[in-house]
Amino acid sequence: MKKVAKVISQSNNSLVQSMPEENLQTMGARVRHYRERLGLSQEELALRVGAAQQTIQSLESGKIRKSTFLPHIAKALGVDFDALLLGKAQPQVIRTSRPLLMATTRRVPLFTTRDCEVVQAFLQDQSVQSASGKWVSMDYSLPFAESGLRLFALKLSLSDEAFQPEFRPGDQLVIDPDAPIQPSDPVIVFKPGAERLNLNRYRVVSQSGADIDYELVSIHPDFPSFAGDELKSLQILGSVIQMRRPTSSRIRLAVLEEQYG
């Protein structure tokens, strides 16, 4: 009996390197090419640059041709910015094996608004993890270079009405407890005895030297604002420095609005 030789398929590396140049005439095609060369999904690339997955999808499809995230995307993909934007020749093809996380990237624990005690424990001891064990990836070469080790994230649910309408169920909020609070910043607030963390906007009423008179204004009209002596019992856990809205949460929200709207 004759033995039939098995045909070995080409590796992903050779397939990527043999891609015809005419297929890379658009910026979107180049973003997709370099992303797939590294073995990254759209969601993984979006997490690395702090953008929404929809932004990456729109760039690759050609729906949008400009984005403030492009320099960060080029860096995350390991290509020259001009090569990504204008299609100029890349001096050397970078290895196509899937890279390890960059040294500037670390995991930030993802909590829920009901994790009041766990969040407070994390602020004292950064080895504390969320009950779910989930996390988000933050690249410290981006706007978070000055953020400290206490950075954490909150994932919102349908019951987090105090965060609406500015934020929606499924949104992930990144909070920096060590960032200086600026006027009008949204801040995460803990009130002793409350079942969940809430969101208020930091509003300066008056300022004299180092003395600041402020109030915490509720974003949702059905939730209270705080001022004066009420502030003494509250703890501001940090400012919201970024909001991430996964595509799947927008789809899910649209379905819920259709069902209950």
The larger pLDDT score, comparing residue 8 to residue 217, is at 217
> What digits encode the pLDDT tens for the residues 131-151?
888 888 765 554 554 567 788
pLDDT range class, residue 76, cuts 50, 70, 90: confident
The larger pLDDT score, comparing residue 59 to residue 52, is at 59
Mean pLDDT for the chain? 78
> What digits encode the pLDDT tens for the residues 200-226?
999 999 988 888 899 999 988 888 899
pLDDT range class, residue 2, cuts 50, 70, 90: very low
pLDDT range class, residue 187, cuts 50, 70, 90: very high
Which of 64-73, 115-124, 126-135, 139-148 shows the highest mean pLDDT?
115-124
Domain boundaries, the chain: 12-86, 105-260
Which of 22-26, 144-148, 167-171 shows the highest mean pLDDT?
167-171
CATH top class, domain 105-260: mainly beta
pLDDT range class, residue 189, cuts 50, 70, 90: very high
pLDDT range class, residue 261, cuts 50, 70, 90: very low
Distance set, CA 137 to CA 45, 142, 176, 250, 256 (Å):
10, 12, 14, 20, 28
Which of 82-91, 131-140, 159-168 shows the highest mean pLDDT?
159-168
The CATH code belonging to domain 12-86 is 1.10.260.40
